[in-house]
Amino acid sequence: MKPSDLSRRDFSKFAAAALGGVLIGVANVASAADEESPLLKEPHVCCGLNTCKGTNGDKKNDCAGTGHCASAKKHSCKGENDCKGQGGCGEHAGENSCKGKGACNVPLSADTWKKARKNYEAAMTKAKKKFGAAPADCGK
């Protein structure tokens, strides 16, 4: 089609298609940004990171954030995690993208736990979910 063959109707169709593509792209970016943090899913990687009552390794916690141990399978090295959100180190422990993509061990080291708890509290607050204080022995 030559530019001179383009009618106003054709131009309108192309403009509408382009606008639709832009809107779909924006919607996809927004939905990816709203995806819930893996820290808000079970199983979790360390004490004080559970999402609700009874979702702790020993099933004895009273509410979110108060559990004494991990419910994710324990492992000692990078890439041994079973699933998304079950990896162990760095700034985003418990937030790895999929099986085998986690780093380090579960349960977490003390320094890593502090970072994970900070991220957990931020994610719980953003999701408007209630949580309790972490047990005193977490992060030691």
Cis-peptide, bond into residue 43, ω within 30° of zero: yes
Output the DSSP codes for 66-103. --SS--SPPB-STT---STT----STTTT--SSTT---
Mean pLDDT, residues 44-70: 72
User: What is the average per-residue pLDDT within 11-28?
Assistant: 72
pLDDT in tens, 66-99: 877 777 777 776 666 666 777 777 788 888 777 7
Burial of 63 (0-12, 13-18, 19+ CB in 10 A): middle
